[in-house]
Structure 1
Amino acid sequence: MQTHHQTTIVDSAAQTRYFYPYSRDGRVGYYPVYYIGPRQDTLYLGASKIYGYQYGQKDYDRERKRFTWVDSLSMKIVVDTAFHLTYAELHYIHNKHNHKDVISYVSYHKAFPVYVYNLTDSLIWLGKFSELGSTVRQAKDSQGKWVDIEKPIRYYCGTGAREIVLEPRQCLVAKLLRYKGSYKTACRLRYTNAHRTVYSNTFTDYIDPRQLTDKLELEDLALR
């Protein structure tokens, strides 16, 4: 349990000292969602991200007229570095006997909470399955230029996917995985959809300096 100002977060994942290691093959903007609902003074984050399929979810296809375009007036993104959370990454192996994937082990990484606020009386669409979509992390290089150090998450298939939708005046809480690195710099999140962009607040964190120089292979975006 951690409290800052008037917000308390109860994180089900235990504290860790490990950061997320940089890999040239894993540069996707991955922001798992742990809470969607009313703004509350106390937020409970489960051990796993929200369920990524639409079983039991409200049918938003019937309410398309209630959706609004996202911009800085309709949505606010805040990364709060006062909270030190943990992301539990599940690693699976395939069981040949029952043809199911089973958990092999769990690795833990430091994380910050990401709040996304719907400031309107309309619906806002933010992604699929259980991740915040269209969002990447930017960092300032030695010349003070903002550089994308991630590429947007994409999916091979969206069959049965849950829609990440914020109802009017609701909020979303995702986790930002903190990178292992030696370069301390200013960072921010950039959400872009339909040529509209919203930036988060600027925060300071460490990254691997190679993230500023290694080329992003944008043609390889798919997951699942």
Structure 2
Amino acid sequence: MKIRLQILFFLISSLLYSQPPTPKLIEGIKNKAVFYNSSVKNSWEREPIYIGSIQKEIINKFENNRLLAIENHYENECNKGYIKREKNSFKNTFEGKVDIFVDTSQNIKFSKVVYHEKSSNTFDFFYANPVVLTNNDSQDVQIGYGYYIPLIMQAQNEKGEWTDIERYYTLDCGTCLNMIYFKPNEITITTSVIYDGNYETKLRLRLGENNFSNIFTGKINRSQIE
């Protein structure tokens, strides 16, 4: 009887805490890609691949990906059709209830400009895991600005402390930026670059100060923490 109760408790716990099925990403980028090896804190322009209701399959494309993703999910005060949002009609990333899930079972490709302090910037394709953000709030949540979602990756050091290993991407000019929103129960899919390095540790993503992703294992370089 005791064993049966333990099995029943395990099954109930699995149902309560398991991550809902995530969309399958169909790779549409044909370019060669690499894992990213860095010795410093980089900034990444994490662009949305998709925003909307949950789908079974989503194609990961290179051209016009971000434009299609934010369609009907942004406002820009420079557009003639812009309607100013009333106070308390939405929440920003620091206030909204957003679930973040890094799907390490899938690898996709994405293109990024890599910014170097002492040399010219480079453009390349990298491997990434899909990141699924879910709006669990009762209101719209502002998930990003421009074409970007301000997620930051954190790593656990040898003391068990969480440390940012990335920097926020800053735009040169903030005039007429798009403000990206998603509605309650909608999802936003973006990317989490897969690092390579000499130090295996626990990783997670954070959005704002209070929204954190699931914890997963990855490799980085120690200098990214130190």
Q: Pick the TM interval, shorter chain.
A: 0.7 to 0.9
Distance 1:179 1:108 in 2: 13
Contact 1:10–1:44, Cα closer than 8 Å, also in 2: yes
Residue 68 of structure 2 corresponds to residue 45 of structure 1: no
Residues 158-207 of structure 1: CA deviation (Å, up to 9, x unaligned) = 22322121112111001111123121110001111xxx411110011111
- Give the whole-Å Cα distance in 2 for the aligned partners of 1:6 and 1:155: 31
Structure 1 44/209 Cα, relative in aligned 2: closer, same or farther at 3 Å? same
Q: Report the Cα distance in structure 2 between the residues aligned to 1:89 and 1:207, rounded to whole angstroms.
A: 18
Does the residue aligned with 2:84 lie in a helix, a strand or coil? helix
**Does residue 1:148 correspond to 2:164, yes or no?**
yes
1:23 Cα shift?
4.9
Aligned to 2:194: 178
Unmatched 5+ stretches in structure 1? 92-104, 214-224
- The one-letter code of the counterpart of 2:85 is R
When normalised by structure 2's length, the TM-score is 0.73
Counterpart CA distance in 2 for 1:60 and 1:188 is 36
Q: Give the TM-score, by structure 1 length.
A: 0.73
Shift of 1:70: 4.7
**Paired residue total:** 191
Partner of 1:203: 216
**CA 1:55/1:190 → structure 2, altered by over 3 Å: closer, same or farther?**
closer
Q: Deviations over 1:104-158 (max 9, x none)?
A: x96221101111100123110122111112x211101122221111122222312
Percent identity of equivalent pairs? 23
Is the contact made by 2:111 and 2:123 (CA closer than 8 Å) also made in structure 1?
Answer: yes
1:66–1:10 CA distance, 2 compared to 1 (3 A): same
Query: 2: distance between equivalents of 1:136 and 1:144?
Result: 18
Q: Distance between the aligned counterparts of 2:166 and 2:71, measured in 1?
A: 30
Q: Separation in 1 of the partners of 2:37 and 2:43?
A: 13
Q: Matches of 2:22 and 2:102 in 1, distance apart?
A: 16
Q: Report the counterpart of residue 31 of structure 1 in structure 2.
A: 46
- Higher fraction of strand: 1
Structure 2 unpaired stretches of 5+: 1-19, 76-81, 115-121
Amino acid at match of 2:210: T
SS in 1 for 2:36: coil
Larger % of helix: which? 2
